[in-house]
Amino acid sequence: MAHSVRLNLLYSTTASRPRSSSSLASNAITLFSPIPSLSLLSSLPSPKLTLRTSHFPSIKAFSTTIAEPEGIKINSIATKPIEGQKTGTSGLRKKVKVFTQENYLANWIQALFNSLPAEDYKNGLLVLGGDGRYFNREAAQIIIKIAAGNGVGKILVGKEGVLSTPAVSAVIRKRKANGGFIMSASHNPGGPEYDWGIKFNYSSGQPAPESITDKIYGNTLSISEIKVADIPDVDLSRLGVTEFRNFSVEVVDPVSDYLELLESVFDFELIKSLLSRSDFRFIFDAMHAVTGAYAKPIFVDKLGASVDSISNGVPLEDFGHGHPDPNLTYAKDLVNTMYGENGPDFGAASDGDGDRNMILGRGFFVTPSDSVAIIAANAQEAIPYFRSGIKGLARSMPTSGALDCVAEKLKLPFFEVPTGWKFFGNLMDAGKLSICGEESFGTGSDHIREKDGIWAVLAWLSIIAYRNKDKKPGEKLVSVSDVVKGYWATYGRNFFSRYDYEECESEGANKMIGYLRDLVSKSKAGEKYGSYILQFADDFMYTDPVDGSVVSKQGVRFVFTDGSRIIFRLSGTGSAGATVRVYIEQFEPDVSKHDEDAQTALKPLIDLALSVSKLKDFTGREKPTVIT
């Protein structure tokens, strides 16, 4: 198709472009005059948001408008590479202040299109959603315009830009989209002073593999042009389709496709029979994050839980000043309720983007490594989706070996992958994996290609409901702790704990890992570490059994002859400094010792981990910030 090209000042195009109903306030124009930046291409939905834009410096840029006879106008905007746009364990995460720098987000989105084969997006369908955090509204408009500018045919976006991470994966799969964007920094806090993030998932709904994210990073270092469609902001508050000649945006309900999928996985009637019992009390803490949008339609409207069983159910841009990470530290209110006098029978929470879960019984915490093993051990009888069989099981390397025991007993293929969900997808696509999990409160299955917080809660409710289905009113119910203890009695208990030292000085943390790598390279089997004898020590390396790709340096581990392990990694999801994670595990077959507190049982190994790593010397930290 022939393109007519003309040069003009960016200012004149933006100033004359049509505006949506929530058009720029006149004082906002003053803010950007005389030369507005790409950030102006997003309209500002409220006076509150108008103020934020004062963070955005303006650029002096010329744009080239490419007018297509039948298509939308596309502006080419000059840009420069920005350092540091390398994705971590799960997408690109930075402070909001970093993302709102001139062209920061736009550069990354354009670099992504520059990295994908044209057939993966030209005239194709992409999904867009997020966890409702601060900056998502503006980011959605920027992403839509750049996607259109690069020739995407259609964008499916959740109402108000909201879709949980598992829902994005579900929608990509159901609508056979080419991929999708998730605007979320997941469990990281949100708000003007905190974090924002972006993830890209592929057509099977799985996080982009390292081969793609490496390419994107490479392109961020050489980028010179951003292609932006000259279209007004799209009203994301109303369901329906907006057409722009050869491009369209459809605003969809964030819940329906995802709920439909969950209804095909679980026996909702069975779960409903449990949640509507007067002798069973359930509580779900949405932590003011994205599952607030899903909790009522699913747990209350579909499954009969009472309205007051949902706490912190209103999603907020800053998660109510909270840290939306469902663990014993950051979900303290839920933990206190569950451990309080006459606590509920079942408690659960999910994180910022709805892919993590924490499961609690009355006065009882289910460690995530046990959780995935217990779901796997019970899946075939309690969850219809698995009735025809389980293809295989997998866990991330630092996750405890509980799942290994289940795989062995059920004679199932088993895989150990690096930290991060992206490594499970290939195994699922190849039909080798059904259920998997991470110690970091992530559990899921091949119903989608992301971990899934609500799925895990429904899996646990299914197990409890199945065990109690014949219990008459007044009979003692099988509790969460009964299920876990029964599991330990059969399989043994893998005592597990993770110590997080958040936001350490990077230099000390990096030196510590360097020191450990050195130690590992010189280590020999049979060496004594206190009362433990070394079986091997290494820096975990993974070869994908499906495509043969290799990743290295995935965590330093010391494995002892009794199966105990101590593991050290640096987080790849933080946005400031370095977070050190220490993972400690010890297997205990003796039932009489299963009731011991994990911290007590693991004390000798924890002390060993701290002394072997010289953690206090390198980081200056006396204590972890989070203990799981």
Amino acid, single-letter form, for residue 213: T
Interface positions, 144-203, toward ligand VG1 (CB under 6 A): 186-187
CA distance to 53, 193, 196, 304, 501, per residue, from 46 (Å): 11, 19, 19, 37, 38
Interface positions, 207-266, toward ligand VG1 (CB under 6 A): none
Q: Which does 581 bind (CB under 5 to 8 A by kind): Co ion, ligand VG1, none?
A: ligand VG1
Q: For residues 68 and 503, which CB has a smaller minimum distance to ligand VG1 in the complex?
A: 503
d(CA 472, CA 469): 9
Q: For the CB of residue 350, give the shortest distance to Co ion in the complex, in Å.
A: 8
- Is residue 438 near Co ion by the rule CB under 5 A? no
d(CA 319, CA 287): 7
- Is residue 353 near Co ion by the rule CB under 5 A? yes
d(CA 303, CA 319): 25
The catalytic residue among 63, 186, 462, 575 is: 186
What would the x/- binding string for ligand VG1 be over residues 576 to 605, using CB under 6 A?
A: -----x------------------------
- CA dihedral of residues 120, 121, 123, 127 (deg, nearest 10): 120
Interface positions, 90-129, toward ligand VG1 (CB under 6 A): 90
Q: For residues 309 and 440, which CB has a smaller minimum distance to ligand VG1 in the complex?
A: 440
- Is residue 291 near ligand VG1 by the rule CB under 6 A? no
The number of C-alpha atoms within 13 Å of 167 and in the hemisphere containing its C-beta is 31
Question: At 617, is the secondary structure helix, strand, or coil?
Answer: helix
Q: For residues 73 and 395, which CB has a smaller minimum distance to ligand VG1 in the complex?
A: 395
Residues in the interface with ligand VG1 (CB under 6 A) total 18
- Residue among 84, 83, 105 at smallest CA distance from 37: 105
* Phi, psi at 238, each rounded to 5°: -120, 130
Which residues are 494's β-sheet partners? 587
* Nearest-5° Cα angle at 304, 301 to 310: 75
Is 549 tagged catalytic?
no
CA distance to 370, 512, 570, 615, per residue, from 623 (Å): 25, 16, 16, 10
Kindly indicate which of the ranges 334-342, 349-357, 457-465, 582-590 contains the residues binding ligand VG1, using the contact rule CB under 6 A: 349-357
Amino acid, single-letter form, for residue 45: P
Q: For the CB of residue 88, give the shortest distance to ligand VG1 in the complex, in Å.
A: 6
- Is residue 571 near ligand VG1 by the rule CB under 6 A? yes
Return the residue of 195, 230, 355, 585 that touches ligand VG1, per CB under 6 A.
355
Angle subtended by helix axes 368-382 and 480-491, to nearest 10: 90
- Is residue 421 near ligand VG1 by the rule CB under 6 A? yes
CA distance to 86, 183, 454, 480, 511, per residue, from 214 (Å): 8, 19, 31, 43, 25
> The tokens of 596 are what?
């011991």
Q: For the CB of residue 613, give the shortest distance to ligand VG1 in the complex, in Å.
A: 16
Q: For residues 362 and 557, which CB has a smaller minimum distance to ligand VG1 in the complex?
A: 557
Return the residue of 195, 351, 438, 585 that touches Co ion, per CB under 5 A.
351
Residue 259 near residue 452 (C-beta atoms within 8 A)? no
Interface positions, 391-420, toward ligand VG1 (CB under 6 A): 396, 419-420
Q: Which does 201 bind (CB under 5 to 8 A by kind): ligand VG1, Co ion, none?
A: none
Kindly indicate which of the ranges 72-80, 343-351, 423-431, 477-485 contains the residues binding Co ion, using the contact rule CB under 5 A: 343-351
**What burial class does residue 333 get, using C-beta atoms within 10 Å of its C-beta: 0-12 exposed, 13-18 middle, 19+ buried?**
middle
Q: Which does 219 bind (CB under 5 to 8 A by kind): Co ion, ligand VG1, none?
A: none
Q: Under the rule (CB under 5 A), what is the footprint of Co ion? A: 186, 351, 353, 355-356
Just list the catalytic residues. 186
Q: Under the rule (CB under 6 A), what is the footprint of ligand VG1? A: 89-90, 186-187, 351, 355-356, 396, 419-421, 438, 440, 442, 571-573, 581
